[in-house]
Amino acid sequence: MDKLSSSFLNKLTKTVKDSGLIAWGERVIAAVSGGIDSTVLLCSLYELRHYFGINIACASFDHKIRLSSGADIKFVEDLCKKLSIPFYTGSIDVKLYAKENKLNLEEAARILRYRFLIKTAADFKAEKIAVAHHLDDFAENLVMRLITGGGAGAISGFNVRSGLIIRPLINHSKSEIKDFADKNSIKFVEDDTNADTKILRNFVRLNIIPSLKECNPSFLKTVKNTAEILKKDDDFIEAIARKNFNDIAKPELDGKRIVFEKNDLSGLEDALLYRILRIAVLGACGCDSKNKANNFIKKPIVYYKNLKAFIQLIKSEKPNTYFYINSFTAARKEYNKIIIEYIASAKNLIFKSFNFELKEPLENPKSGLKKRYSRIIYNDGGETGRHSVKIKEINKTFHIEKLSVEKSDKIIKDILEGKIDFRPDTAYFDYDKISFPVTIRPFNDGDRFVPLGMKYGKKLKEYFIDKKVPANVRRVIPLILFGGKIAWVSLNEISDDIKITELTRNAGIMRID
């Protein structure tokens, strides 16, 4: 081995030792595409396998994006045969997966590739997965984050180690990798898509990075050092924010809804609020670090505009307001509560321990279109007046019936003597006051009714505000109308017009379950 090769491997060894990437006796999977970076990584680990005391295997994933990808896999397989090391391969149609899951091609490829690598590591019983990210990749990633945005922490770059993933070449430049390959006659395959500057990553690599190197020949080292300082700052603030989050956040629905008291967020510094919001968003959408696979998916970005909207939400005097953080996460205020929730979990609305499981979200985040439902019951229930109607949109069933004489007499007596406790899902009423058709529908602007115990009607919106009914629940609570007039605001109370009195002869019952 010549001096250049020795210098290259010495730097790799130093990176491994300084960062504790590999322990003696471990099994390591090298992720290899056949390109120059990953092929040099494989050859380097092979050369140092006895020095590190490791067993290595190679894993190569065919994304089936390029026609020549099969030939690339064959190249890697042949190299592994030459080196006498285990070879694992897998493939899937990334384009189809991206289409079915509404992902961009790069994100879909990353998810599937790392899913394969994790499975392969388990099959080989490997403790580490080595990938070929190098110093130019580090700078390229940072510049891309500056271009596309990413919030706090985004420009601190990726770590030398992330769970199972290790990056032994993180301190090597692309030119060093090329020199090592040339000097040692290492063959590799070329990916012609790397020259397509319509792809942002390639544009940054081929146009922006070279210009920055001209301005500062030490650009790569400067970026790395600056990012490490920023990371220390970010880690410090993040730790404080996470402690605050753990103290004040109340997860619901398996963490897909995060609830805060408004007073707990008021007065916090913007830097903490941003990170608390980001922690909540990642937790609500299931992108936290508890699942190892989540380390390799593209996490939702919380932008500065989201922070500004979050601060306005906290300060707002409105009892109910909301905004969408992205197409699958929303932030809303319900009186003194601030809630971050996954949109799919918004299909589970809880009000006074009553759970609505909606078939679809109440509102489309992009179009703002709201879901509606309506059911009509005509007088065809016979003497019992018994009807049951499924409201599939909220996964509930409405029941109404006339009670038997015996039950009716008992209910009338108990109600007049105050012996029946209020139940939000059940209402007793004077059945002779019923007027068909009976309609079941949600709230409409302008609705009015006469609450129990009152002589005059009031706007239902005002009633909801007085009762502190959250805005999103108002839009789904079933209203029961007798002949076009609101008779029961379910989960709340009946209209005074249909209450049971001393003159009532026949009692009826309505239920929602």
List the domains of the chain with CATH numbers: 3-223 (3.40.50.620), 249-351 (3.30.465.60), 375-512 (no CATH)
Decide if pLDDT at 3 tops 50.
no
Decide if pLDDT at 508 tops 50.
yes
356-369 mean pLDDT:
63
Q: How confident is the model at residue 23 (pLDDT cuts 50, 70, 90)?
A: very high
Position 207 scores a pLDDT of 94
303-314 mean pLDDT:
92
Amino acid found at 248:
I
User: Could you report the per-residue pLDDT of 117-176, keeping only the tens digit for each?
Assistant: 999 999 999 999 999 999 999 999 889 888 887 666 667 778 899 889 999 999 999 999
216-234 mean pLDDT:
91
For 341, the enclosing helix (H) or strand (E) is strand 337-342
Percent of the chain whose predicted confidence (pLDDT) is above 90: 57
Identify any residues that bridge with 488 across adjacent strands, giving them in sequence order: 480, 494
Is the entire prediction scored with pTM above 0.85? Answer: no
1-28 mean pLDDT:
88
Q: How confident is the model at residue 8 (pLDDT cuts 50, 70, 90)?
A: very high
User: Could you report the per-residue pLDDT of 441-456, keeping only the tens digit for each?
Assistant: 989 889 999 999 898 8
Report the helix count and the strand count for the chain, using DSSP H and E.
17, 24
Position 192 scores a pLDDT of 82
User: Could you report the per-residue pLDDT of 56-82, keeping only the tens digit for each?
Assistant: 999 999 988 887 888 999 999 999 999
416-428 mean pLDDT:
88
> How many whole angstroms separate alpha carbon 484 and alpha carbon 498?
14
> Both ends of the chain: CA-CA distance in Å?
77
E-only strand ranges, 124-189: 128-130, 161-162, 165-166
> How many whole angstroms separate alpha carbon 107 and alpha carbon 105?
6
